[in-house]
Amino acid sequence: MAARGLPELDVARVQRWCASRAPEHVRHEIRVECDVAARHLTICECRPPWREDFGPDWTRFPIARLHYTKTSGLWALYWRDRNLKYHRYDRLKPSPQVQDLLDYLDSHADPIFWG
C-alpha cells in the first residue's frame, strides 16, 4: 500500500493513463493529471492561462474521481456535479481493478465525464 493507503501500482497506473491522454505535441495546450488524496484519485483536465489578468496558473477542471475502499479492495467511479460535489456513478459497478474504471472513461460511454 502507498503511504496514503492507496495501492501504489494502481496509483502509478492511473498516473500513466493520465499522462498518455494528451500527445506530447499538444501538452502546452492541454494535459490530464491525477491528484492523489488519502482515499481517492481525482482526474483533472488542465489548460494553460488564457488571459494575462488571470495569472500564470493553469486551470484545473475535475473530470472524475476514483475512490478506493481499503476494506473491500474495490475502486468506485464518481462523477462531479456543477457544484463540485461528487456522486457515486451507479452505471458501473465497483471493481478490484482500477483499469476497469479507466477503460470505461476511455470508452466515452457517458458524456457526463468528458462532455
Contact 83, 96 (CB under 8 A): no
Going residue by residue through the chain, which has 115 residues, state the pLDDT in tens, using 9 for 90 and above: 554 689 999 999 999 999 999 999 999 899 999 999 999 999 999 999 877 777 788 999 999 999 999 999 999 999 999 998 999 999 999 999 999 999 999 998 889 998 7
Nearest residue to 76 via CA among 53, 100, 54, 46 = 100
Lateral strand order in the sheet of 86-88:
31-36, 40-47, 59-69, 74-80, 86-88
Distance CA 6, CA 79 (A): 20
Q: Which residues in 70-112 belong to E strands, given as ranges? A: 74-80, 86-88
Contact 57, 50 (CB under 8 A): no
Q: Mention every residue, 6+ apart, whose C-beta is less than 8 A from residue 86.
A: 65, 78, 79, 80
pLDDT at residue 26 in the model: 93
pLDDT at residue 114 in the model: 80
